[in-house]
Amino acid sequence: MNGRKLIIVILVLSMLFIFISVILYLSKFGSLNFSDINDDWINFANYFSGILNPILTLLNLIIFAYLSFQLIKIEDDRNKWTLQELARPYSNLLYEDTGDVLSISIENIGLGPMILTNITINNNSGKKFNDFYDALSDIIENEEFEYSVTPKIDSFAINSDSGAIGKEKSHCILKLYFLDENNHNQDFTEFIRIQLNKFSIQITYSDMYGRSIDSMTEKLHFRPWL
């Protein structure tokens, strides 16, 4: 029952008790004529105070208890909201490109844990990929690279066992490196870096309370080598 309905019920009950008390008094002790005797008015007042005061006091206690519970609930909701805002995560992308290693990581620069719920990688032609392994495989398949290299690709995909990033922590979602020495490794890294700059990434995540946070969409941007 909300506050407005409770007040209406209390008012109706108060009027009903007053009406019943007047009817009972008149039917037992008086008539509709007003008395000129002071004692009659005193007895009438004592009757009402004895009958109605306890009832009205009880109704007041009910209203007071209801308002107290409402204030406690409002304060609890406010504290809960404050805790949720203090635990709000915020994502940021970290890039590493040293020539032999190329990587992208998601960093949580917010105040609470970040629960990754979806990662989508899009290229300029409208293709969508769920992880960088598929995205890089598509690049290698459709774009020509003139030298032979043997890259190693580590890619992160969301599953039930992973996807949470703690406060001030990061999670690598792509790492491209090489297991053997090759004079063209850096050439291949640069080739991939240029191709990835044609992609954008959309990251959807929630906080520890299960609240969905606005998705972060960012165009990939590896800075050119000096």
What is the DSSP annotation of 62-100? Answer: HHHHHHHHHHHHHHHHHHHHHHHHHT---EEEEEEE-SS
Q: Is 14 a residue whose pLDDT tops 90?
A: no
Residues 33 and 12 in one domain: yes
* Lowest-pLDDT choice from 56-65, 143-152, 186-195: 56-65
Residues 51 and 140 in one domain: no
Phi and psi at residue 130, in whole multiples of 5°? -90, -15
Residues 31 and 139 in one domain: no
Residues 159-184: tens digit of each pLDDT? 655 678 998 999 999 999 998 888 88
The domain boundary residue, chosen from 86, 120, 143: 86
pLDDT of residue 2: 65
Residues 201 and 128 in one domain: yes
In whole angstroms, what is the distance from residue 58 CA to residue 128 CA?
66
Residues 118 and 153 in one domain: yes
Are the C-beta atoms of 90 and 179 separated by less than 8 Å?
no
> Does residue 225 fall inside a structural domain?
no
Residues 131 and 178 in one domain: yes
pTM score > 0.85 for this model? no
Q: Both ends of the chain: CA-CA distance in Å?
A: 69
Calculate mean pLDDT across residues 55-64.
Answer: 78
Q: Is 67 a residue whose pLDDT tops 70?
A: yes
- Domain of 169 in residue numbering reads as 91-219
Q: Is 50 a residue whose pLDDT tops 70?
A: yes
Residues 200 and 154 in one domain: yes
The domain boundary residue, chosen from 86, 103, 132: 86
Residues 81 and 99 in one domain: no
55: left (phi over 0), alpha (psi -120 to 50) or beta: alpha
Q: To the nearest whole number, what is the mean pLDDT of the chain?
A: 83
Residues 8 and 65 in one domain: yes
Residues 73 and 177 in one domain: no
Residues 120 and 200 in one domain: yes
Residues 54 and 136 in one domain: no
Q: How many domains does the structure of the chain reveal?
A: 2
> Does residue 148 fall inside a structural domain?
yes
pLDDT of residue 77: 78
pLDDT of residue 161: 55
Calculate mean pLDDT across residues 43-65.
Answer: 77
Residues 23-48: tens digit of each pLDDT? 776 676 666 566 667 776 777 777 77
CATH number for the domain spanning 150: value is 2.60.40
Q: Is 127 a residue whose pLDDT tops 80?
A: yes
Q: Is 93 a residue whose pLDDT tops 90?
A: yes
The domain boundary residue, chosen from 86, 112, 131: 86
pLDDT of residue 29: 66
> Does residue 224 fall inside a structural domain?
no
Q: How confident is the model at residue 142 (pLDDT cuts 50, 70, 90)?
A: confident
> Does residue 161 fall inside a structural domain?
yes
pLDDT of residue 173: 93
Q: How confident is the model at residue 134 (pLDDT cuts 50, 70, 90)?
A: very high
